[in-house]
Amino acid sequence: MSQEHGFAPNQAIEGLGFLGVLNDCLACGVVCVDEQGHITCLSPEAASLLRMHPQRLVGKPHELLPAPLASLIHDALVADKPFRDHDLELRLDDMETMVLRVNVLRLGTPPQPRLTLAILNDLTSARRLEFDISRLDRLANIGALSASMAHEIKNALVAVKTFTELTVAQSPGADLGDVAQRELKRIESIVGQMLKFAGPSRPKLAPVRIHEVLDHSLRLAQHQMSQKAIRLRRDYQAAADWVNGDDYQLEQAFVNLILNAVEAMGVGGTLTLHTCSLAPEELPGALREGGPPPQLRVTISDTGVGIPAENLSRLFEPFFTTKREGTGLGLAITRRIFEEHHAAISVESEVNRGASFRVFFTPLQRP
Ligand code: ADP
Ligand code: MG
């Protein structure tokens, strides 16, 4: 490893994409606008940040810039004053929004021609890093707390369970006994999943075929699927499906996604398992940054109730559930398993139409 760069590579910061963040924050773009509001020049960094071609902008009205930026420049022109550290959110496409920190300067004193300068800094990855760190922090706290709690609860449960079973056996048909037993089962499953989540078991990586893992996961969920007469569309298109993975953990993750899909659907819904190989340019922007691009996409979609937009960002948080009997741990565990496999997961949904979970893997070149 080279120590010549100012930033010595270090595993902890590399994992968070720290160097990428520094890069993004240090490179700034510049847009110049004259007193008539026309763009006089645009640095290559600004063009690439705004995903716009300089030729389409130079000499044109500044209103052609993305609306929030155009409006800030307009205000600076009209009020004849600079603006410092304005954070603007720009929507690039369906998958991506960008956070830009903008400083607007007014240069030149009359009678010299005046120039308005907008200096753009990309804060997107810095914001993402901030968010990831706070999520890691919360997860670490939850992890430590739940590990100790789960052990205590599990021990206490043994006594309560034995007592309840004995009582129910002595007076069968007692409604309350059934309820107590059902609730105890639920607690047991929560505690079991908490222990799984808290006690990190490192994946044992070996070459596995994703198509085989998916088929096995389907078999594990078969009972729930046939109970609801769920139709299966199994559409495996990926040419290369070998990945370095822990088949048991990957199965657990896919079963979570499949069971969620089944739970979201009524009788007769359709579950689709689709795989395909992707060229790097087909990947969503966030996945394109750094490292070899993931190229194998697994999509698990359903025709269920879908996910309201306000829930999308909370879906993977531990204990987030909308189900009466849910634990809210399934997706937290699932994401963690995929993260340990360097796979990314994303979700798309339309309420009442269904949901689609996509997982992006880097396939092995040669198994
Ligand atoms: P649980 O299934 O115990 O509720 P999960 O972590 O597996 O916990 O899921 C969290 C929440 O995400 C669910 O309660 C549900 O609201 C939502 N969800 C997950 N998958 C789907 C899906 N395929 N369709 C609709 N909602 C879903
Ligand atoms: Mg679940």
- Tell me the C-alpha distance between 61 and 107, whole Å: 19
Pick the atom of ligand 1 nearest to 302's CA: 23
Confidence grade of residue 159 (pLDDT, cut at 50, 70, 90): confident
- Tell me the C-alpha distance between 122 and 110, whole Å: 32
- Tell me the C-alpha distance between 264 and 307, whole Å: 9
- Is the pTM here over 0.75, yes or no? no
* Residue whose CA is at the smallest distance from ligand 1 atom 19: 260
Determine whether the shortest distance from the Cβ of 322 to ligand 1 is under 6 A: yes
- pLDDT at position 13, please? 42
Strand partners, 101: 87, 121
Instruction: Using the Cα atoms of residue 94, residue 96, residue 101 and residue 103 in order, give the sign of their dihedral.
Output: negative
Determine whether the shortest distance from the Cβ of 345 to ligand 1 is under 6 A: no
Mutate to test the pocket of ligand 1, among 259, 260, 327, 345 (most ligand atoms within 8 A of CB): 260
Mean pLDDT, residues 118-129 taken together: 84
Nearest ligand for residue 189 CA = 1
- pLDDT at position 326, please? 81
- Tell me the C-alpha distance between 332 and 253, whole Å: 10
Confidence grade of residue 194 (pLDDT, cut at 50, 70, 90): confident
Pick the atom of ligand 1 nearest to 320's CA: 10
Distance from Cα 83 to the centre of ligand 1, integer Å = 44
Confidence grade of residue 95 (pLDDT, cut at 50, 70, 90): low
Mutate to test the pocket of ligand 1, among 272, 317, 331 (most ligand atoms within 8 A of CB): 331
Percent of the chain at pLDDT exceeding 70: 81
pLDDT tens digits, 206-227: 999 999 999 999 988 898 999 9
Determine whether the shortest distance from the Cβ of 66 to ligand 1 is under 6 A: no
Three-class secondary structure of residue 319 per DSSP = coil
Nearest ligand for residue 335 CA = 1
* Residue whose CA is at the smallest distance from ligand 1 atom 16: 322
For residue 58, is pLDDT > 80?
yes
Q: How far is CA 250 from the centre of its chain?
A: 17
Please calculate the CA angle 249-273-206 and round it to the nearest 5 degrees. Answer: 30
Q: Which of 66-75, 131-140, 185-194 has the lowest mean pLDDT?
A: 131-140
Determine whether the shortest distance from the Cβ of 331 to ligand 1 is under 6 A: yes
* Burial classification of residue 235, based on how many CB atoms lie within 10 Å of its CB (0-12 exposed, 13-18 middle, 19 or more buried): exposed
Determine whether the shortest distance from the Cβ of 256 to ligand 1 is under 6 A: yes
Distance from Cα 255 to the centre of ligand 2, integer Å = 9
Q: Which residues of 209-229 are buried (b: 16+ CB within 10 A; e: fewer)?
A: bbbebbeebbeebeeebeeee
Question: Which of the pair, 181 or 68, is modelled with greater confidence?
Answer: 68
For residue 80, is pLDDT > 80?
yes
